[in-house]
């Protein structure tokens, strides 16, 4: 049922019953010549925060992928704050600006990113302890973040799960609870606009293993030929 345009013109595509040729339907297809215009453009980031002197590489995605002319023109609404060249944003001075990526095929499609240039010390990386964990359904997991550099102006993080149906996490404290078997990542993301984040890979098993066995009698004295029935309790229940 896939249709491919071969040349300019109009034709009908039929779907016909193999049992009864009288049972059929069709679609009328018109093939036109000309350019394929850009229908939308998007950036890999819609907002970023940079320190003065920092660089950030913005990339564009143009749809459709077979657009005839996918070239992009870059511009900054305030070059005193930040400049852009081939998608590379350079922070110049404290303030705010918008970086625009405009399609050059005449379609008028534009994608924009809000850029905040700050004199704050931004987060450069985040590590999570532990970096990976295996747990059973119903168990808690306590996660701890380390933010770099240690003198970052805003070291706060927000926690979230890649799949809250498998494991959920308190967004403020990094305490996670497993809900069902599967795999997910727990992220801690910087809240200073740097976009930096760290993660812990978690695998949740639906098997609950015995962690303790207790015999009903710690000690027993029997006379010859006597019997006594022992019992044992496995935990957790």
Return the ∠ at Cα 67 (arms to 65 and 73), rounded to 5°.
100
**Continuous segment of H or E residues that includes residue 15:** strand 9-16
State residue 8's pLDDT score. Answer: 81
Query: Which residue bears the tokens 């812990």?
Result: 200
3-class secondary structure, 111: strand
State residue 42's pLDDT score. Answer: 96
Strand-pair partners of 14? 26
State residue 55's pLDDT score. Answer: 94
CB 136 within 8 A of CB 207: yes
Distances from the Cα of 163 to the Cα of 145, 169, 186, 195, 229, angstroms: 20, 10, 9, 20, 49
pTM here is 0.53
Low-confidence ranges of the chain (pLDDT < 50): none
State residue 30's pLDDT score. Answer: 87
State residue 28's pLDDT score. Answer: 95
Q: Could you give the CA distance from residue 200 to residue 47 in angstroms, rounded to a whole number?
A: 25
Dihedral sign of CA atoms 221, 225, 226, 227 in order:
positive
Return the ∠ at Cα 83 (arms to 82 and 85), rounded to 5°.
150
């Amino acid at each position: 049922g896939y249709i491919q345009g071969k040349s300019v013109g109009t034709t009908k595509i039929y779907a016909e019953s193999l049992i009864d040729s009288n049972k059929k339907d069709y679609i009328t297809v018109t093939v036109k010549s000309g350019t394929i215009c850009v229908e939308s453009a998007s950036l890999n980031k819609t907002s970023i925060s940079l320190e003065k002197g920092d660089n950030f590489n913005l990339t564009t995605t143009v749809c459709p992928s077979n657009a005839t002319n996918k070239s992009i023109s870059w511009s900054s609404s305030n070059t005193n704050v930040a400049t852009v060249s081939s998608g590379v944003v350079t922070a110049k001075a404290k303030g705010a600006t918008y970086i625009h990526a405009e399609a050059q095929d005449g379609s008028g499609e534009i994608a924009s990113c809000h850029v905040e240039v700050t004199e704050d010390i931004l987060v450069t990386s985040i590590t999570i302890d532990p970096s990976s964990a295996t747990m059973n359904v119903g168990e808690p997991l306590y996660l701890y973040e380390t933010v770099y550099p240690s003198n970052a102006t805003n070291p706060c993080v927000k926690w979230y799960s890649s799949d809250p149906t498998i494991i959920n996490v308190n967004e403020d404290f990094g305490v996670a609870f497993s809900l069902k078997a599967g795999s997910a990542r727990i992220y801690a993301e910087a809240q200073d606009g740097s976009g930096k984040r760290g993660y812990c890979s978690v695998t949740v098993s639906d098997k609950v293993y015995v962690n303790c066995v207790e015999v009903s009698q710690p000690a027993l004295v029997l006379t010859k030929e006597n019997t006594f029935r022992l019992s044992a309790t496995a935990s957790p229940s």
